[in-house]
């Protein structure tokens, strides 16, 4: 595995390696509409609005969330297959796919 690819994968994993962000993704996934806005998440996560907004930005930058601003509200939804892609890449580190 090249240092470049290791750095990229590490940055992606670092975006997921936080309890608040994992719960955030889970909450959005569990939503009936498949999306949620910031004000829907501050309660369950027990975090302030700036903190939740920050976490959402991290996940958007990492390619796990999609932001759709409609009027005043910002609707966040999962990027389909993003997490599956990471999960599929992980075993490659331990196998002889060291290209």
Partner DNA sequence: ACAAGGCATCGACGTCCGTCGATAACTCTG
Partner DNA sequence: CAGAGTTATCGACGGACGTCGATGCCTTGT
Binding partner of residue 69 among DNA, a second copy, none, CB under 5 to 8 Å per kind?
DNA
Give me the residue label for tokens 């932001």: 67
For 56, other C-beta atoms within 10 Å of its C-beta total 22
Q: Give the shortest CB-15-to-DNA separation in angstroms.
A: 8
Binding partner of residue 39 among a second copy, DNA, none, CB under 5 to 8 Å per kind?
DNA
Q: Which long-range contacts (CB under 8 A, 24 or more apart) does 82-85 make?
A: 83/16, 83/25
Q: Which residues bind DNA (CB under 7 A)?
A: 14, 17-18, 20, 37-39, 47-51, 53-58, 67, 69, 71-74
Q: Which residues bind a second copy (CB under 8 A)?
A: 1, 3, 6-7, 9-10, 13-14, 16-23, 25-26, 29-30, 78, 82-84, 86-91, 93-96, 98
Per the CB < 8 A criterion, the answer to whether 93 and 42 are in contact is no
Q: What is the DSSP letter of 70?
A: E
């Amino acid at each position: 595995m090249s240092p470049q690819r290791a750095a990229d994968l590490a940055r992606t994993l670092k975006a997921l390696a936080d309890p608040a962000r994992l719960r955030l993704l889970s909450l959005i996934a569990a939503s009936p509409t498949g999306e949620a806005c910031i004000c829907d998440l501050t309660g369950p996560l027990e975090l302030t609005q700036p903190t939740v907004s920050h976490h959402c930005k991290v996940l958007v930058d990492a390619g796990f969330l999609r932001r759709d601003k409609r009027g005043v509200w910002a609707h966040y939804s999962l990027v389909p297959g993003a997490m599956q892609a990471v999960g599929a890449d992980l075993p490659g580190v331990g196998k002889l796919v060291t290209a």
